[in-house]
Amino acid sequence: MKCWLIVPAAGVGRRVGGDLPKQYQTVAGRPLLSWTLAALAPLAAAATVLVVSPNDPHIDDLAEEFHGALPGLTILREGGASRAESVQAGLRWLGERAAPEDGVLVHDAARPCVTPAALSAVWAALATQKEGVLLAQPLDETVKWGAEGRVVRTLDRRNLWRAQTPQGASLAVLSEALALALAEAPETVTDEASALEALGLSPALVPGEVSNLKVTHPEDLALAAFWLQQQGRYAPCA
């Protein structure tokens, strides 16, 4: 079974702010997306499909750097209005090249600190888990269910996990799940696991790492640089 990767990167990430979409904002001297692609290299996927918007004004200037970060990268200019639509475009591209039983993992463009160990673990799990897999981290905070600014109840955190990426399944299963979810309830498809769940499947949880953060808010850019330094991938100038 071959492994294929999809990296949806057609969004703009408005919560981060700034003049550029968050995947192109600078972290430790390089575009955030460049770090993410480099982090995926140890997986040695058969191909990685970077899905960007058809009218992306930045990709041409950065394509050479991205290819250098991850040799063999394919840039697909068919991204949609939502993450799920971009992933679906990547699946269509893979449908002409990969076998139905091949594994497909999807990774957030804004998760630059995923480790080789985490990638290895999620890929090993996918080889045996027919209902799909995802990296996730057990919650260690107390979690409240709220309404109108007040606590309704406290949730049992023993069964709560914070979803991360990569997530995936076989090409055939993931394509079916995403097509069904987008047709019936597109607003519920916040990640690949939610699409698999809508198909009646129970993806396997693979314990992830706290360093595998998703850059969402402005302060996350500095936090990503911190983890890159801790991982030995970045050394600040003296």
The pLDDT profile of the chain, 238 residues, written as one tens digit per residue, is 899 999 999 987 677 777 789 999 999 999 999 999 999 999 999 999 999 999 999 999 999 999 999 998 999 999 999 999 999 999 999 999 999 999 999 999 999 999 999 999 999 999 999 999 999 999 999 999 999 999 999 998 889 999 999 999 999 999 999 999 999 888 889 999 999 999 999 999 999 999 999 999 999 999 999 999 999 998 776 5
| pLDDT at residue 8, rounded to an integer | 97
Angstrom distance (rounded) from CA 236 to CA 78: 36
| pLDDT at residue 187, rounded to an integer | 85
Per DSSP, 144 falls in state E
Peptide bond into 166 cis (omega under 30): yes
What's domain 3-230's architecture? Alpha-Beta Complex (3.90)
Residues 6+ apart with CB under 8 A from 89: 51, 76, 78, 79, 80
Angstrom distance (rounded) from CA 233 to CA 28: 10
| pLDDT at residue 166, rounded to an integer | 98
* pTM of the complete model: 0.95
The pair of structure tokens assigned to 238 is: 């003296």
